[in-house]
Amino acid sequence: MIESERQRCRLHFDKTPAMRFTGHLDLYRALERTIRRAALPLAYSQGFSPHPKLQLAAALPLGFTSRAEIADMWLEQAVDPAHVLTRLQDAAPPGLAFRDASPVPAREPTLQQQVAEAAYDVDLDDPAPLDLETRIVLLLATPELRRQRRGKEYDLRPLLISLELARPGRLRMQLSAREGATGRPEAVLEALGLDPLAARVERTALIFAPSTPETVTA
Amino acid sequence: MAPNSIPTQSSLTAPEIERRLHHILPRVQKPGRYTGGELNQVVKDWDATSLRAALVFPDVYDLGMSNLGVAILYDLLNRQPDMLAERVYAPWPDMDAALRAAGLPLFGLETKHPLQAFDLIGVSLPYETLYTNVLTVLDLGGVPLRAVERGQGDPLVIAGGHAAFNPEPMSDFIDAFVIGEGEDVLLEIARLVLEWKASGGPRPSLLRDLARLRGVYVPSLYRVAYAPDGTPDRIEPAAPEARLPVLKRIVPRLPPPLTRLVVPYIDVTHNRIPVEIQRGCTRGCRFCQAGMITRPVRERPVAEIVDAIEQGLAHTGYEEVGLLSLSSSDYDEILELVRQVSARFAGRHLNINLPSLRIESFSVELMDLLQGEASRSGFTLAPEAATERMREIINKPVSTEQVLATAREIYRRGWHLIKLYFMIGHPSETLEDVQAIADLSKAVLAEGRAVIGPRASVHVGVSTFIPKPHTPFQWVPCDTLESIRAKQTLLKQQLRGPGLKLSWTQPEETQLEAWLSRGDRRLGAVILEAWRRGARFDAWQEHFNHAAWMQAFEATGLDPAFYTHRERPIDETLPWDVIDAGVHKSFLTEDYLWSLQGRTRVDCRERCFACGILPKFAALRREHPGEGWECPEVRSPARQAAAAAVEAP
């Protein structure tokens, strides 16, 4: 089967509380198994140990839920997108809710290359500190936020695009999600002096970079 | 961590447990072990269901989810309109501590009800090193540990699995054991519990009713008297309902395979569709407990297996299928099965495994056909012994030339890795026999080098022999720690260098498994004491706490060597004599004597050695003719009665 006959299909789905503690690799596996149960002609790479042609836009940390996950899958033959969606919905485990399936141009850049930002809602388990709004203002006013991750130091501030208190006990933030420049909500919570483990984080949007000329090949 | 440091509140409601769990889970390793909610789990209305059962696999979720036995019983109970079954696994030590710190009880994954709230707790005991975890699970679940401490409002705790063929060491903690295959008897037990619950009758009457069921052993209804030398002198029933011995249960034919399997969200030990192609084994390897206690061989038809794979794929989406049996090569239509499976599932990106193949080139052809273009990770061969003498003693005759020819064929057909399994520690074994293991392993590697050059590799796994109950070796002693160490040192010195990898079992772990396998009911005190001193997850090297066990033996005044390092006289009453595994003791005795003479037995499909299965289950077989038992046909009732009379011990 040559590449051009394959259909690249973009899936929009939610990762619901049932799968909160399913990590990135396991989510990938769960998606693959859902597609297999749905009996869709998922394409596999050639070679000694074939892997499915399936891409996730951006890793979602363990413990997060999402209303905005995106994956691209390649099918060996074109399938009616409405049919794809119904089949996936029927085959989905309790933790996955498919919202949309639509074909995309095969030559588009990878999803990881296209995603630029991600938005999150954070619900705090415990009552918010009284000065939380002040902390937010101060944090946003800081020119530089040196943080450590896996032994490496980096500046969180340029990765934080926006941060606000959406309502009492709920923070809303937007962070860079480019490859190699990913801001993490837990880091923001820590910078605010909050316990990142005492919060429920939900991804609410993945925002794509404005399309560059070479992506317009449809 | 000290057990019972903080009492768990087993009275918490399910929603409250769920709410509090949310605060704990982000702080433990692999929280996906404790959430439930997976695809194909069965959640029933708690309040609207009369009988609520918890099925416990007393090891971590990752391992327990790969256990087919629990999955079968889960499906079976949940099919009953008035029953529900939920899953419970042993929490990893970090979760154990987190639950205790939060005062949370252990719960069923499906609805988060505390273990204590269930009517029936069914514990799976496939191996002995899970025993301390059973105590952890009961304790965390708010269930009194010892059967005598349980009262009217407490769940009935039953257990089954291969380890239950010597139920004595765990008899303090288990109300009733299921001996043999649980498929039929579990429902009979559940019905009794239902009736008992409805009647409000006393707990002892439930126990006596349970003892009436075939295949059920209620330890509290037996008395054991010990001789001055510490050996069991007499085992006798203490109630008219108690059978002696308790004959194991079997199903006359294997029910259709389970295909709607719960699919974990997290990576577990086996992510695959397991399909038993047959149960039982006709080979008669003398060290193999499974081969003795799972008789007779019952096969599933090819079409049923192929259908099960198809349905399993549709229900799970798995990429892997395991065709399970104790000896795949002996499945009657193995070639036809492999042909059909490979034809049907080619091009579906499936990895199909067929473990336990005989050492012969035909096995390589089968795997070649089955795996097609799929990746070839490793090919496993289990010669178990490397000298002809030892092979005759253990009754696993295979020649060294056969091993080498098979290895050659494996490398020739595209595998780079051969995994060889051996066993050391039989009392008749000498250092020359161990040296031969090293020599054979190197010879296999040399075959690989000759075919594919330096890419060839050999992994050698060396386990240590444990004389298991209900085998012809049940009377022989275990090897001493010093001797095992000397043998392992020899292998470690010999089996190193490029292309070779050796793995072995810590002698102390083997010793623990041997005590627990061979013990009597006095061992219950040792298990409890070791657990109190911190023994947990004994099957996991990183948690295994040898000191706790030695201290426990000392504290209880029992001599560990009494259980493991003593050749038992043929006429000694064995703790597990209370169980009848379907094989005559006289057959085991004869086979033991044959092993001393180096006499082997052929596969019993070729010739019946009158092990006892046929007379003991003659009625069952008559009721289910032509159901694929691989024993020779029984000719007439008269002849059968005569055979039974001759064979009676």
* Contact criterion met (CB < 8 Å) for B266 and A22: yes
Task: Please state the domain count of chain B.
Answer: 3
- Give the residue-averaged pLDDT of B209-218: 98
β-pairing verdict for A65-75 and A96-104: unpaired
CA distance, residue B468 to nearest chain A CA (Å): 39
What pLDDT shows up at residue B642? Answer: 56
Reduced to 3 states (helix: H, G, I; strand: E, B; else coil), residue A14 is strand
Strand partners, B225: B234
ipTM for the whole predicted complex goes beyond 0.90: yes
Q: Is the pLDDT of residue B429 over 90?
A: yes
Nearest CA in chain A to B109: A18
Strand partners, B36: none
Does B318 lie at the interface with A, CB-CB under 8 angstroms? Answer: yes
* Contact criterion met (CB < 8 Å) for A39 and B314: yes
- CB of B545 closer than 8 Å to CB of B536: yes
Does B315 lie at the interface with A, CB-CB under 8 angstroms? Answer: yes
Nearest CA in chain B to A64: B26
* Contact criterion met (CB < 8 Å) for A18 and B37: yes
* Contact criterion met (CB < 8 Å) for A33 and B263: yes
| A18 chain-B contacts, CB cut-off 8 A | 35, 37, 265
- Give the residue-averaged pLDDT of B445-449: 98
* Contact criterion met (CB < 8 Å) for B265 and A33: no
The verdict on residue B497 lying in a domain is no
Residues B225, B79 within the same domain: yes
* Contact criterion met (CB < 8 Å) for B317 and A21: no
| B30 chain-A contacts, CB cut-off 8 A | 21
Q: Is the pLDDT of residue B5 over 50?
A: no
* Contact criterion met (CB < 8 Å) for B313 and A91: no
What pLDDT shows up at residue A110? Answer: 94
- Give the residue-averaged pLDDT of B559-568: 95
- What is the domain range of residue B296? 272-375
Q: Is the pLDDT of residue B524 over 60?
A: yes
| B109 closest CA partner among B64, B160, B153, B155 | B64
| Chain A stretch 36-55, residues whose beta carbon is closer than 8 A to a beta carbon of chain B | 36-37, 39, 44, 48-50, 52
Place of tokens 């061979």: B518
The verdict on residue B396 lying in a domain is no
Does A1 lie at the interface with B, CB-CB under 8 angstroms? Answer: no
Which of B39, B259, B321, B350 would you mutate first to test chain A, the one with the most A CBs within 10 A? B39
Q: Is the pLDDT of residue B42 over 90?
A: yes
Nearest Cβ partner for A94 among B23, B39, B266: B39
pLDDT digits (tens, 9 = 90+) for B581-603: 999 999 999 999 999 999 999 99
- Give the residue-averaged pLDDT of B30-53: 98
CA distance, residue B301 to nearest chain A CA (Å): 25
* Contact criterion met (CB < 8 Å) for B265 and A32: no
The verdict on residue B80 lying in a domain is yes
Does A181 lie at the interface with B, CB-CB under 8 angstroms? Answer: no
Q: Which of B324, B341, B375 is the last residue of a domain?
A: B375
Reduced to 3 states (helix: H, G, I; strand: E, B; else coil), residue B422 is strand
What pLDDT shows up at residue A109? Answer: 94
| Cα-based torsion angle of the residue sequence A70, A75, A77, A78 in order, rounded to the nearest 10 degrees | 0
What pLDDT shows up at residue B347? Answer: 87
pLDDT digits (tens, 9 = 90+) for B487-496: 999 999 999 9
What's the half-sphere exposure (Cβ side, CA atoms, 13 Å) at B623?
7
**Residue B79 neighbours by CB under 8 Å, 6+ apart:** none
Angle at B128 between CA B126 and CA B132, to 5 degrees: 115
Nearest Cβ partner for B32 among A21, A34, A50: A21
Q: How confident is the model at residue B646 (pLDDT cuts 50, 70, 90)?
A: low
pLDDT digits (tens, 9 = 90+) for A155-195: 999 999 999 999 999 999 999 999 889 999 999 999 999 99
Does B31 lie at the interface with A, CB-CB under 8 angstroms? Answer: yes
| A44 chain-B contacts, CB cut-off 8 A | 349
- Give the residue-averaged pLDDT of B181-203: 95
> Structural domains in chain A?
3-106 (3.30.70.580), 114-208 (3.30.70)
* Contact criterion met (CB < 8 Å) for A19 and B39: no
The verdict on residue B19 lying in a domain is yes
Does B314 lie at the interface with A, CB-CB under 8 angstroms? Answer: yes
Q: How confident is the model at residue A218 (pLDDT cuts 50, 70, 90)?
A: very low
* Contact criterion met (CB < 8 Å) for B265 and A34: no
Which of B38, B111, B265 would you mutate first to test chain A, the one with the most A CBs within 10 A? B265
Residues B79, B160 within the same domain: yes
Q: How confident is the model at residue B2 (pLDDT cuts 50, 70, 90)?
A: very low
Phi/psi for B385 (5° steps) reads: -135, 160
A86 Rama sector, left if φ>0, alpha if ψ -120 to 50, beta otherwise: alpha
Residues B346, B235 within the same domain: no
Residues B235, B313 within the same domain: no
Residues B59, B140 within the same domain: yes
What pLDDT shows up at residue B551? Answer: 98
| Chain B stretch 114-133, residues whose beta carbon is closer than 8 A to a beta carbon of chain A | none
Residues B213, B293 within the same domain: no
Reduced to 3 states (helix: H, G, I; strand: E, B; else coil), residue B366 is helix
- Long-range CB contacts (< 8 A, 24+ apart) of A26-29? A26/B32, A26/B265, A26/B266, A26/B267, A27/A56, A27/A60, A28/A54, A28/A56, A29/B267, A29/B271
The verdict on residue B223 lying in a domain is yes
Q: Is the pLDDT of residue B3 over 50?
A: no
Residues B146, B95 within the same domain: yes
What pLDDT shows up at residue A213? Answer: 46
- Give the residue-averaged pLDDT of B160-176: 98
Residues B59, B166 within the same domain: yes
More reliable by pLDDT, A5 or B524: B524
pLDDT digits (tens, 9 = 90+) for B248-269: 999 999 999 999 999 999 999 9
Does B313 lie at the interface with A, CB-CB under 8 angstroms? Answer: yes
Nearest CA in chain B to A96: B39
Q: Which of B357, B375, B393 is the last residue of a domain?
A: B375
CA distance linking residue B624 with residue B252, whole number of Å: 7
The verdict on residue B119 lying in a domain is yes
CB pairs A-B closer than 8 Å: 69
Q: Is the pLDDT of residue A132 over 60?
A: yes
Q: Is the pLDDT of residue B631 over 90?
A: no
Which of A15, A22, A60 would you mutate first to test chain B, the one with the most B CBs within 10 A? A22
CA distance linking residue B383 with residue B164, whole number of Å: 28
Nearest CA in chain A to B310: A37
**Residue B463 neighbours by CB under 8 Å, 6+ apart:** B421, B422, B423, B424, B504, B505, B510
Q: How confident is the model at residue A215 (pLDDT cuts 50, 70, 90)?
A: very low
A90 CB burial (10 A radius; 0-12, 13-18, 19+): exposed
Question: Mean pLDDT of all residues in chain B?
Answer: 94
Does B347 lie at the interface with A, CB-CB under 8 angstroms? Answer: no
Q: Which of B323, B342, B375 is the last residue of a domain?
A: B375
| B318 chain-A contacts, CB cut-off 8 A | 33, 36
* Contact criterion met (CB < 8 Å) for B266 and A26: yes
Q: How confident is the model at residue B375 (pLDDT cuts 50, 70, 90)?
A: low
What pLDDT shows up at residue B4? Answer: 42
**For the domain that residue B297 is a member of, what is the CATH number?**
3.30.750.210
CA distance linking residue B109 with residue B21, whole number of Å: 12
| Cα-based torsion angle of the residue sequence B503, B508, B514, B520 in order, rounded to the nearest 10 degrees | -160
Phi/psi for B629 (5° steps) reads: -70, 140
Does A161 lie at the interface with B, CB-CB under 8 angstroms? Answer: no
**Cα dist from B224 to B107, B215, B227, whole Å:** 35, 20, 10
Nearest CA in chain B to A23: B266
What pLDDT shows up at residue B352? Answer: 92
Residues B120, B55 within the same domain: yes
What pLDDT shows up at residue B643? Answer: 55
What pLDDT shows up at residue A210? Answer: 86
What pLDDT shows up at residue A212? Answer: 53
pTM of the model: 0.94
What pLDDT shows up at residue B84? Answer: 98
The verdict on residue B551 lying in a domain is no
Three-state SS annotation for B531-573: HHCCCCCCCCCCCCCHHHHHHHHHHHCCCHHHHHCCCCCCCCC
Percent with pLDDT over 90 in chain B: 90
Q: How confident is the model at residue B622 (pLDDT cuts 50, 70, 90)?
A: confident
Does B255 lie at the interface with A, CB-CB under 8 angstroms? Answer: no
Residues B241, B321 within the same domain: no
Strand partners, A124: A199
Nearest Cβ partner for B26 among A29, A39, A63: A63
What pLDDT shows up at residue A217? Answer: 37
| B351 chain-A contacts, CB cut-off 8 A | none
B282 CB burial (10 A radius; 0-12, 13-18, 19+): buried
| A61 closest CA partner among A168, A200, A180 | A200
CA distance, residue A190 to nearest chain B CA (Å): 15
Residues B90, B153 within the same domain: yes
pLDDT digits (tens, 9 = 90+) for B98-138: 999 999 999 999 999 999 999 999 999 999 999 999 999 99
Place of tokens 């869709």: A40
More reliable by pLDDT, A5 or A63: A63
Nearest CA in chain A to B313: A37
| A94 chain-B contacts, CB cut-off 8 A | 37-39
Nearest Cβ partner for B37 among A25, A63, A95: A95
Q: Is the pLDDT of residue A1 over 50?
A: no
Q: How confident is the model at residue A214 (pLDDT cuts 50, 70, 90)?
A: very low
Nearest Cβ partner for B349 among A50, A62, A198: A50
Q: Is the pLDDT of residue B427 over 70?
A: yes
Q: How confident is the model at residue B625 (pLDDT cuts 50, 70, 90)?
A: confident
Q: How many C-beta neighbours within 10 Å does residue B1 have?
A: 11
- CB of B460 closer than 8 Å to CB of B441: yes
The verdict on residue B267 lying in a domain is no
Residues B234, B278 within the same domain: no
* Contact criterion met (CB < 8 Å) for B317 and A37: yes
CA distance linking residue B313 with residue B270, whole number of Å: 15
Which of A19, A20, A21, A49 would you mutate first to test chain B, the one with the most B CBs within 10 A? A21
